Every structure is written in structure tokens, then in C-alpha cells.
Amino acid sequence: MTPERTIFIASTHRVYSMTEKTAMADGRVDEKQLLDACKTAAKQFVSGDFARSAEDTGSVISAVLFGALARSGSLPFSRQAFEQAIRRAAVGVESSLAGFEAGHHIATHGESAAQPAVEPTPGIGAALKPLADRVEREFPSPARAVLLAGIKRLADYQDAAYAAEYLDRLGPIRDLDGAPDRRLLTETARHLALWMSYEDTIRVADFKTRRQRFERVRSEVRLGEDQVLRINEFLHPRVEEIADTLPAGLGRWLLRTGWARALVGRFAAHGRIVQTSSIRGYLLLYLVAGLRRVRRSTLRYKEEMARIGPWLDEVRGAATGDYALAVEIAACQRLVKGYSDTHARGLRNFRAVMSAVPALRGKPDAAARLRALREAALADESGVQLDDALKALGA
């Protein structure tokens, strides 16, 4: 066979596909044979536990793989071009650059070489120093990078007190997790930070009025010195999103009162265009973003906190009897994402998957079966694959 392409092995302890030659008699994978086969087939072979590097840097595996891809020379772009692409995204830039550096290092020196000292979450300022110190003092080292990224994200989303609540919620999980790699704590910390920074109208308005976003748009359109930039945002919140932004009592009243709901629905039916590059449009979204000061009183906040509690209870309940199942329950948060219709579909799928947990408890393959349900939900937004998987399970 003629080597034609670069092959990356992202995590040598997690293999999802194999050739017949690399499968052992009992169905397991002979890791050495697999790696040898890849080396033979590849023009250039890059291997390493990129998943672990992602955890160590508080990043995602795609950022680490991006660094390895840049170093491989498989694409005709400079390292600076790759890094600039990360910066233009304007989301999780620091942690993504740290992950990129780790992947680049592995591709350059191999996994066995000493990793460079990388600060996983640059920018921990004086306001968050007490929380960073608390992480170092109270939590095990394998989970610290994710925890530091979590407190930084949540302080940016709300405030330092909100980030402290995040650590408080993770204390019981920490006490239950005795595994050397603290995988349960790390996964729960990652997904809890994402859930606590849910997307609402306040968050959307905040992102659309940040300086970095305007700078990115100017860069992308290559704005000339003699040109004027106008940014038009199409906003179409549903009645539910409007109610979610109101104080909890008022929001519930709006949703259950027919005439009020119909009136607001007619007002918001067709959406509106807001020119955020104008003073009027910018101030409108700036005022909405400023509602973060009262976010804790909103209907959406109350509802999300009410959902997070039972989810964490399920994680803790499974941890003592089935550690792997507890990890998979933590990962089910991946289903709760997005905004508006996307969030509604994800929440529906989350509830359906979690409803199967009681039937899975005590089964030897409970973790694998829950993971299969989650992947079915992620693979098909319509929910058809998940419904079929639940029927096959008998849930």
C-alpha cells in the first residue's frame, strides 16, 4: 500500500473503528498492531493522547488536533494563520490557543517529550484570585485546568459570586470521586460550567455588543479607512424568550395568560432588524445586556437552576455504584444547548434520555447504553433516532 495521507491518532486508549487485521479473537483491539498499521499506511504519522492534552489545557480536543495539523505541514498555511483563525472566532481564545500549542508540541516532539509550561487559563485577574487559590487548595490537580476555565467563564457570564457557587456545587462530586484521573469531577465541572452559562437574550445581546466582535467583523470585511461599516442584526425572539427574560412571576403570568401572550406574540411575530453599528441600535442591545445584574430574578434562571439540581443528584446517585454511568450522566448535559428552538429540542431530548436512567441502573452495560442514547439524540435533531433507541431499550 502506498502511503498517501497524514494519519492522526487522537487518543490511543479510545479506538472506535478497526480493520480486521487489528482485531483480536475476543473482539478487542491490539493497540500495537493498530499503531503499526497506521505507521505503515501513513505518509506522516502523528500520535498522542490529544484528549488528555485537551483536559490539561482546559480546551477541547479539536483545538489540540488543530495544533498538530498545523505542525504536520499537510495544509499550505503558516502557524500564524492557524492561530489567527482561532482569535477571529472570539470564543474561548485563550484556552484554544493553549490546546493548539499542546498539539503543536506533540506533533513536533512526540508525546513522550516534556510538555511546555502552558497557563491553561490566562487572564485570571485580581477579582478571581481568591477563587483560583481555592481551586488550588481544595480540588485535585487533574481537574484544576477545567475548574479554572470554569470560574473564568462564569465570572464573565455573571460575576465572581456566581463562579463561587459553581465550586460549591462541585464539592460533593469531588468528595465522591476517588479515581486517579478524577474523570467524573472533570467531566461534571466542564458540563456544569456550560450549563450555568446557558444562552439567553441577555447573553446574546452581550456578545453582539462586545468590542471584540466589532473588531472581528471589521477584520473579516477588510474595512478600509474611507469606508463606513453598518451591522444589521436580525432578532426574532419568541414569546418564550421574552418571558424568560422577565422576573419569574411576571414571566409565568405572561405564558399562562392568553390575551397577553397573543399581544406579545403579534408584536414579536416578524422579528426586527437592529443596526448595532448605530447609537440607537447599540444602546438597545447594551441595555438588554445590562440585565445581567438582575438575571438571578428571571424566569429562565429559576428554571435552569431547577434543572441543574436533579441532574447533579443523578450524577451523585450513580457515582457510588456505577462510576462509568455517573460519567455518562454528566455528559448528557451536551444535549442542553443553544437558544430558542434549538434549546427546546435539546431539552426535550435531555429529558427523554434521562428518563431511561432508572431502568439502566444495575445493568453491567448501563454506561454504554446511556452513551448510545445520547449519541442517537445528538445525531438526529428530529428525535426519530432517539425514539427508536428508547423503544429498543424498552424505556
pLDDT at 324: 95
Name the residue ranges covered by the structural domains of the chain.
Answer: 5-109, 125-197, 201-295, 298-395
10-residue mean pLDDT profile of the chain (395 residues): values are: 47 34 43 65 74 69 84 77 72 71 77 46 76 95 94 94 97 94 95 94 89 83 82 85 94 95 87 84 90 95 96 95 95 86 88 92 91 88 82 72
Q: What angle do CA 57, 58, 62 make, to 5 degrees?
A: 85
What is the rounded end-to-end Cα distance, in angstroms, of the chain? 47
Q: Report, in angstroms and rounded to the nearest whole number, the Rg of the chain calculated over CA atoms.
A: 23
Cβ neighbors of 291 (< 8 A, separation 6 or more) are 202, 245, 298
Rounded to 5 degrees, φ, ψ at 195 are -70, -40
Residue 298: is it exposed, middle or buried by C-beta count within 10 angstroms (0-12/13-18/19+)? buried
d(CA 134, CA 161): 13
Residue 8 and residue 41: Cα distance in Å, rounded?
12
Tell me the C-alpha distance between 169 and 191, whole Å.
12
d(CA 372, CA 20): 23
Instruction: Supply the pLDDT for residue 219.
Output: 83
Please give the backbone phi and psi of residue 240, each rounded to the nearest 5 degrees, phi first: -60, -40
Residue bearing cell 444602546: 283
**pLDDT at residue 187 in the model:** 96
